[in-house]
Amino acid sequence: MTTSAILQAINGTSFAALLFLLASGFTLSFGLMRVVNMAHGAYYLLGGYVGLAIVQVTGSFSAAILAGGAAIALLGFFVDRALIRRTGENHLAQVLLTVGIAFVIGDVALWIWGGDNLKVPVPMFLRGAVELPGGIVYPAFRLMLIGLGLVVALVLWLLYHKTQIGAVVRAGVDDREMVAANGIHVDRLFIVVSALASFLAGTAGVVGGAFLTLYPGAEWEILVFALVVVIVGGLGSLEGAMIGALIVGLLDAYGRWLLPEFSYFVLFGPMAILMLFRPTGLFGKAH
Amino acid sequence: MTTPAIELVDVGKRYGGLQAVESVTLAVAPGERRVLIGPNGAGKTTLFHCVTGTVRASSGRIRLFGTDVTRLDEASRTRLGMGRTFQISNVFMDLTVVENVLLALLGKDRRKWTTYRTLRTYAQMHEQALDRLAVVGLQARANETVRLLSYGERRQLELALALATAPRVLFLDEPCAGLSPSERQLLSQLIAGLPRDITLLMIEHDMDVALALADRVTVLHRGKVILEGSPDEVQADPEVREVYFGHV
Amino acid sequence: MERKHLIAWSVVAVAIAALLPLVAGPFWVALLTQMFIFGLLALSVDLLLGHAGLFSLCHAAFFSVAAYTTAILQVRYGVSTALAAPAGIVAGTLLGLVFGLSVRTRGVYFILITIALGYIVWGVAYRWSSFTGGDNGVTNVPRPTIAGFELESMTSYYYFMLAVIVLSLLAYRVLVASPFGLTLRGIKTSETRMTSVGFRPNRHLYAAFVLSAAIASFAGVLYVYYNRFVNPVSASFPISVEAVLMAIVGGSGTIVGPLLGSGIVLALRNWVSSFFELHAAVMGLVFIAVVLWAPNGLVGLLASLRANRRAAR
């Protein structure tokens, strides 16, 4: 029994790592630019498909991760400049616009890659299982994912809290007008943060595509989880994205294991209760 | 000693490290016209927000006609007879002038929950609304969208909204701010003409308007009350002259 | 528009609609029936969006819970329409009572929470297959018999829906013109002003939310009798989004806007999917186009055209 419990904990944590990749970009985009980008899930899916294509051509998983991220960073840049910009801070318009973009991306992806579940092939050394202390055997890939999540979390945290750029971003999240008034190029900042968010979404797709597979509809399923992460963690907070991802990942794993038909309740129930008492999430700020 | 209409006992408001308002104690008698003056940043609007309930006071007690309202929300205080205007014009821009007043009339009325009758069928309420508009001279613009009104007319409307709630105590936050001299005169005449069964607490920056309307003046500086007295007393006081006039 | 012109146009529209089955083929009858059903769903969304200023993306949840409840009661437990239909509406409304607690949040938080709440229902419909039939849904829902009229044929159901939508629009007209309706618009325009004149906005928003859930549930029951089948797709996010799109395309905040928008969106989807496979992408492009170029929808466009013409005179 305890072995299963520990297995589920690792499952939940590896899923949390994936969710963090997606949610961190989403929450920072909102915190700094007040942009709600519902196409983030579609970015994930498309990034995954691009990564898949790269692996099929080059055989290199790391190339796939980079390519997936870069492709989406580029796409995100154009979408931002040409479309999202025009909505200002009108969240209603942003949601509708980015949902529309997601529909377009999703359908085009369906047309190119079809409706079957596709799996991004994983390099040899990450296939198979690793033996952990206590005699637990666990897939190597998912352990790698946890590692990746930790590394990205650490890097983001350092960037955010220990660098000049991070300080500016934090100030911008707090008070955008003040930052602009201080002569800092808010525009360039937006581009950087937005590109980073899109990049992370793309790489998440490649990594996610290796164990969750890619299929039409996956973009919405993963987005919902990411949304719960930012709702629980609080929009605009990096720490919130970390803790939120962990909570959501673990609740999802245990929920599926203990009450498979009601796993959604296990996940959303606590979220709903949290909303009643703290509408802005654990670390969010009231705007 | 009659119960004061408005009573503040040791009211304070803290924002993180900043003490915006500190130990303010004052009492306004029923029917009195009290004006709150002080330089920018003195905490006048913050104090107002504490009294109206927009913001929760950090310390102290607030009473309206003897009833402790410190823990009550704004809607409850309005039901107890509070009315207010905002420093920056806050009216329903996309609705018509008469719809604005109708909402003010519906605020404390049970009929705001009615779903099965159109508003047009409430002839009596419409008449009441038009009467309220007549008091501020806007009845001719009743069916126009507020967005089309001039800023001065919106300030008049704002006063009409505050009065429509049949307040016993009226809080006016710089009612004449942003108005031309003729508009200012019109509005201060309206305020001066208000019946004495309404108690008035007003923030005003314009010294002439303030001193002309006030029975008593309270001077705020850096969140604290530094003087309270008749308009003449306040005008003559050297500390006030330094703090206030020195900044003009 | 002047009152008597409005009444004249409405009578003409209803007359045309009544004559439709006699002149047009079954395709049009089906399309218009769907337009009425989804128009009602769009109306429920617009009560919140256009009047209260709340952007809800979970209304497919009420729609489908009502549909499922009615379907399961009729098909699996043999309950009569007289009980199953109201039960469906009640079920959806009860869900509205729970989800309505989300009105304590505002702005983007409200949007995100409704998205998540909508997904719960979809997820349950999908995963609780022992009860909902999972992917396969519930089939063989019989057409109801109302006041002796059997609504078996497409045409009979069409006339039934026409009557329903006309009555619904009349009731909706009174609702939005009532004190309650004005209160909602006041909240949408300036919540701070509303509190300062004695309102408690959250209470009205909650009531409006529950009411709109009831309307969406009503649409759901009408849907399941029309379609004779319900599956998890009816609870999906795209349905909620489309309902919002319909309201906006037709003209949010108006009475016939959501209905017109429903017609436009359904007709467009039908037309596009007949020659182009990527119809979801086309819908996506429509969203983008509407947001960027026609945020006031069809009714808004017509109104501004008329205003321009009047100004030019």
User: Which residues of chain B neighbour C215 with C-beta distances below 8 Å?
Assistant: none
Chains that touch B (3 or more CB pairs under 8 A): C
Query: How does pLDDT run across B89-134, given as a tens digit for each residue?
Result: 899 999 999 999 999 999 999 999 999 999 999 999 999 999 999 9
C276 inside 8 A of chain A by CB: no
Nearest CA in chain A to C53: A92
Residue B106 falls within a domain, yes or no?
A: yes
Residue B247 has pLDDT above 60, yes or no: no
Inter-chain contact A91–C290, Cβ cutoff 8 Å?
no
Instruction: Kindly state whether residues B193 and B73 are assigned to the same domain.
Output: yes
Quote the pTM value: 0.90
Residues B171 and B216 in one domain: yes
For residues B133 and B105, state if they share a domain: yes
Last residue of a domain, one of B133, B166, B199: B166
Q: How many domains does chain B have?
A: 2
Size of interface B-C (CB pairs under 8 A): 101
Q: Return the CATH number at B201.
A: 3.40.50.300
Which pLDDT belongs to residue C107? Answer: 83
A77 neighbors C264 (Cβ within 8 angstroms):
no
Asked if B74's CB is within 8 angstroms of C178's CB, the reply is no
Q: At what angle do helices B97-106 and B123-136 cross, to 10 degrees?
A: 110
The answer on pLDDT for A130 being more than 90 is no
Instruction: Answer whether residue B161 shows pLDDT above 80.
Output: yes
Same domain, B171 and B75: yes
Residues of chain B with Cβ-Cβ distance to C179 below 8 Å are 102, 106, 111-114, 117, 119, 122
Residue finishing a domain among B108, B132, B166: B166
CB pair distance less than 8 Å for C189 and B95: yes
Treating both helix axes as pointing N-terminal to C-terminal, what angle do C59-77 and C26-46 enclose, rounded to 10 degrees?
120
Q: Which chain A residues are within 8 Å of C113, Cβ to Cβ?
A: 231, 272, 275
pLDDT the model gives residue A287: 47
pLDDT mean over B141-154: 92
Neighbour subunits, C (≥3 Cβ pairs < 8 A): A, B
The residues on B that touch C, with CB distances below 8 Å, are: 52, 54, 73-75, 78-79, 83-84, 86, 90-95, 99, 102-104, 106-108, 111-120, 122, 161, 164-165
Mean pLDDT over A177-184 rounds to: 70
How many CB atoms within 10 Å of residue B96? 17
Domain interval for residue B52: 1-81+167-248
In the 8-state DSSP scheme, what is residue A118? B
pLDDT above 60: residue C312:
no
From the CB coordinates, do chains B and A have 3 or more pairs under 8 Å? no
Pick from B136, B166, B196: which residue ends a domain?
B166
Q: Which residue has the higher pLDDT, A200 or B237?
A: A200
Residues 6+ apart with CB under 8 A from A188: none
β-pairing, B199-203 with B216-221?
unpaired
Instruction: Provide DSSP, chain C.
Output: --HHHHHHHHHHHHHHHHHHHHHS-HHHHHHHHHHHHHHHHHHHHHIIIIII------HHHHHHHHHHHHHHHHHHH---HHHHHHHHHHHHHHHHHHHGGGGGS-HHHHHHHHHHHHHHHHHHHHH-HHHH-GGG-B--PPPPEETTEE--SHHHHHHHHHHHHHHHHHHHHHHHHSHHHHHHHHHHH-HHHHHHTT--HHHHHHHHHHHHHHHHHHHHHHHHHHHS-B-GGGGSHHHHHHHHHHHHHH-TTSSSHHHHHHHHHHHHHHHHHHH-S-HHHHHHHHHHHHHHH-TTHHHHHHHHHHHHHHHH-
The ipTM, to two decimals, is 0.89
Average pLDDT of the segment spanning A3-22: 90
Question: Closest-CA residue in chain A for C132?
Answer: A261
DSSP helix/strand/coil, A169: helix
pLDDT at position A260 is 78
Contacts of B107 in chain C (CB under 8 A): 194, 197-199
In a domain, B86, yes or no: no
Report the C-alpha gap between A141 and B177 in whole angstroms. Answer: 66
- Pair B46, B117 in one domain: no
pLDDT for res B245: 63
Mean pLDDT of C303-308: 68
Predicted local confidence at residue C112, as pLDDT: 86
More confident residue, B209 or B23: B23
Distance CA C121, CA C110 (A): 17
Nearest-Cα distance to chain B for C186, in Å, is 7
Asked if the structure places residue B245 within a domain, the reply is yes
Rounded Cα distance between B197 and B158, Å, is 20
At C295, the pLDDT band (50, 70, 90 cuts) reads confident
For residues B179 and B234, state if they share a domain: yes
Q: Between chain A and chain C, how many beta carbons pairs sit less than 8 Å apart?
A: 120
Structure tokens at A252: 């999802």
Task: With an 8 Å CB cutoff and a minimum of 3 pairs, decide whether chains C and A touch.
Answer: yes
Q: Is the confidence at residue A184, as pLDDT, over 70?
A: no
Residue scoring higher pLDDT (B40 or A14): A14
Identity of the residue in A235, A261, A264 whose CB atom sits nearest the CB atom of C108: A235
Residue B21 lies in a domain: yes
- Report chain C residues whose CB lies below 8 A from the CB of A265: 120, 124
Q: Are residues B144 and B188 in the same domain?
A: no
Identify whether residues B123 and B19 lie together within a single domain: no
Q: What is the 3-state secondary structure (H, E, C) of C225-264?
A: HHHCCECHHHHCHHHHHHHHHHHHHHCCCCCCHHHHHHHH
How far is C184 from chain A, CA to nearest CA, in Å?
18
Confidence category of residue B224, pLDDT binned at 50, 70, 90 = confident
Statement to judge: residues B4 and B73 lie in one domain: yes
Instruction: Show the domains of chain A with their CATH numbers.
Output: 2-277 (1.10.3470)
